[in-house]
Amino acid sequence: MGVKRQLSAKRVVIKVGTSTLVYPDGSINLRAIDQLAFVISAMRHRGREVVLVSSGAIGVGLNYIGLTQRPKAIPEQQAIAAIGQSELISIYKERFAVYEQKIGQLLLTRDIFIYPKSHQNVLNTFEALLAQKIVPIVNENDTVAVDELDHETKFGDNDQLSAVVATNIGADLLIMLSDIDGFYDGNPHADTAANLLAHVPAVTDDTYALAGGSGSRFGTGGMVTKLKAAERMIQADGQMILANGADPTIIFDILAGESVGTLFG
């Protein structure tokens, strides 16, 4: 039996990508959402403080109105995000209620963390929700922010948002669930000899050199954005684990110290 990982996980941020919530054909993965609600509720009931950063608004919105591809125009994407966000939070509320766990929603933009007054206000909101044993569910406010959408800057993404939230609220651990088992020393889709790295103590130029490729057609992330998130967590003396979110109950294995996914830090 392998050596257990030593994790500090009193306050945990879980980031779930669109690929976990939406099937490749665009339909909603209700099973995964239910499992996610179950796991987070169990964590909360065992005394952990948990924040969920959830992608998927546009993917869910596309499904809701029967489209298969993201439109190119920013206003159309924002409209779909508005539709999808309300639908997504309704699904979350329904599934969390089954496990007697209350949730709250925070839609954030990058400038909130830049300006001191709004920065403090949002931190106060997080602390108040966590103190009341409520799970904050966070997403970028795509209806007003264009950073994450198909805009030329392409700065914002929920990988970065999850790390910004985690470091600002003093989270011990960021668990990032994606459609890949972890970080490899090559492209596992093209190189059968690529090895999964169990532990990456520091994110360096060499680490970035190993990364490449974009995300799914419904999402915006890629491996580089995940490495940037990991780097931010390490700089804040936290840890991040990248793991496959196909079965969100993998979080139980992560918290038990099992060697699943890639541990950064």
* Euclidean distance between CA atoms 57 and 63, whole angstroms: 10
* Euclidean distance between CA atoms 80 and 243, whole angstroms: 28
Q: Check whether 221 is labelled as a binding-site residue.
A: yes
Q: Check whether 205 is labelled as a binding-site residue.
A: no
Q: Check whether 55 is labelled as a binding-site residue.
A: yes
| Cα separation values, 236 from 88, 166, 204, 207, 243, Å | 31, 9, 16, 19, 21
Q: Check whether 225 is labelled as a binding-site residue.
A: yes
Q: Check whether 25 is labelled as a binding-site residue.
A: no
Q: Check whether 27 is labelled as a binding-site residue.
A: no
Q: Check whether 15 is labelled as a binding-site residue.
A: yes
Q: Check whether 214 is labelled as a binding-site residue.
A: no
Q: Check whether 238 is labelled as a binding-site residue.
A: no
| Cα separation values, 3 from 89, 98, 179, 255, 258, Å | 39, 36, 26, 14, 8
Q: Check whether 168 is labelled as a binding-site residue.
A: no
In 164-249, the DSSP E strands lie at: 173-178, 183-184, 196-197, 199-200, 239-244
Q: Check whether 61 is labelled as a binding-site residue.
A: no
* Euclidean distance between CA atoms 214 and 101, whole angstroms: 34
C-alpha angle 54/58/61, rounded to 5°? 110
Considering only CA atoms, which of 171, 157, 177, 262 is closest in space to residue 211? 262
Q: Check whether 223 is labelled as a binding-site residue.
A: yes
Q: Check whether 178 is labelled as a binding-site residue.
A: yes
Residues that constitute the known binding site: 15, 55, 142, 158, 178-179, 220-226
Residues that constitute the known binding site for ATP: 15, 178-179, 220-226
Residues that constitute the known binding site for substrate: 55, 142, 158
